[in-house]
């Protein structure tokens, strides 16, 4: 698979929806995790990211304008010991609960399906980073739960396992292939992308590459592979 320019991919797509990037920094010293949300409706755009004790959650910027919180308010990122879970919905909690009891990433997601928002049937995308202190490295898994060719009666569950990545490389998974009505779901394997720069440079370039009208919030975290310490940046369109 060709390694692509992440920023060019974003600049060329006005509506990838919600996206997860996981990979290794260019210097090889950090695991890189990014999650962004976009929105076309006032309800979807009325959000910000806020930090929590074990990750982040979405919150209404203006509570008086919320029309339906069911699919827009959730915990996109949660931590559990040496695990970092990132998703585009409340399946974050499902994964966390199952793995906290000794279960597996795939096991948790086999209990879930795509979002009940026909005719779009928005996919549920998820990622897991497992950091190993003894190896000073990490493994990652990604998943997408999507409707079968837009048919809301059938689910396709796809899982991707990456036991190791070279420095400066990541995988990019997003909910939608592009804008549309209904919006077409992502297809294929998570895209192979190049990762460059320190956390501030990477976050700034990623945010600038998202469509100005549709971008809402961005989370970026670099986890030091030698120490496990995390450095986080959050950018909200509504400050």
pLDDT for 142-161, tens place per residue?
A: 999 999 989 999 999 999 99
What percentage of the chain reaches a pLDDT higher than 70? 100
**If you average pLDDT over residues 179-191, what whole number do you get?**
97
Q: Identify the helix (H) or strand (E) that includes residue 35.
A: strand 30-38
pLDDT number for residue 30: 97
Are 176 and 185 within 8 A, CB to CB? yes
pLDDT number for residue 133: 87
Task: Give me the residue label for tokens 């929806």.
Answer: 17
239 or 166: which carries more pLDDT confidence?
166
pLDDT number for residue 61: 97
Are 24 and 222 within 8 A, CB to CB? no
**If you average pLDDT over residues 8-28, what whole number do you get?**
98
pLDDT number for residue 174: 98
Query: Among residues 121, 118, 94, which one has the least CA distance to residue 108?
Result: 94
pLDDT number for residue 1: 84
**If you average pLDDT over residues 187-214, what whole number do you get?**
98
Are 216 and 37 within 8 A, CB to CB? yes
pLDDT tens digits for range 46-91: 999 999 999 999 999 999 999 989 889 999 999 999 999 999 999 9
What percentage of the chain reaches a pLDDT higher than 90? 95
CA 215 to chain centre: 14
Looking at the predicted structure, is the pLDDT value of residue 239 above 90?
no
Gap between the Cα atoms of 141 and 124, Å rounded: 14
Is the N-terminal amide bond of 119 cis, ω within 30° of 0?
yes
Question: Please, which pLDDT band fits residue 134 given cuts at 50, 70 and 90?
Answer: confident
Cβ neighbors of 212 (< 8 A, separation 6 or more) are none
pLDDT number for residue 223: 97
Are 131 and 93 within 8 A, CB to CB? no
Gap between the Cα atoms of 84 and 105, Å rounded: 11
Gap between the Cα atoms of 99 and 108, Å rounded: 8
When the pLDDT of each residue in the chain is averaged and rounded to a whole number, the result is 97
Gap between the Cα atoms of 8 and 37, Å rounded: 18
Q: Identify the helix (H) or strand (E) that includes residue 91.
A: helix 91-100
CA 125 to chain centre: 7
Q: How far is CA 76 from CA 32, 49, 101, 110, 205, in A?
A: 15, 9, 20, 18, 21
Task: Give me the residue label for tokens 């609960």.
Answer: 97
Gap between the Cα atoms of 75 and 86, Å rounded: 8
Question: Please, which pLDDT band fits residue 27 given cuts at 50, 70 and 90?
Answer: very high
Structure tokens at 153: 């009666």
């Amino acid at each position: 698979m060709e390694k692509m320019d992440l920023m060019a991919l974003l600049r060329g797509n006005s509506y990838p929806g919600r996206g997860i990037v996981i990979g290794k920094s260019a210097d090889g010293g950090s695991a890189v995790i990014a999650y962004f949300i976009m929105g076309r409706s006032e309800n979807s755009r009325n959000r910000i990211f806020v930090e929590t004790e074990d990750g982040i959650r979405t919150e209404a910027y203006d509570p008086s304008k919320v029309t339906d919180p069911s699919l827009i308010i959730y915990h996109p990122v949660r931590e559990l010991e040496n695990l970092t879970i990132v998703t585009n919905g409340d399946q974050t909690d499902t994964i966390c609960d199952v793995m906290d009891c000794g279960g597996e990433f795939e096991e948790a997601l086999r209990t879930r399906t795509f979002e009940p928002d026909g005719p779009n049937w928005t996919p549920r995308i998820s990622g897991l980073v497992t950091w190993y202190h003894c190896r000073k490295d990490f493994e990652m898994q990604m998943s997408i739960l999507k409707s079968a060719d837009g048919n809301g009666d059938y689910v396709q569950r796809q899982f991707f396992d990456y036991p190791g990545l070279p420095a400066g490389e990541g995988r990019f998974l997003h909910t939608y292939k592009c804008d549309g009505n209904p919006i077409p779901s992502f297809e294929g394997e998570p895209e192979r992308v190049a990762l460059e720069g320190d956390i501030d440079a990477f976050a700034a370039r990623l945010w600038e590459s998202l469509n100005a009208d549709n971008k809402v919030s961005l989370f970026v975290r670099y986890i030091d592979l030698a120490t496990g310490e995390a450095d986080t940046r959050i950018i909200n369109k509504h400050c």
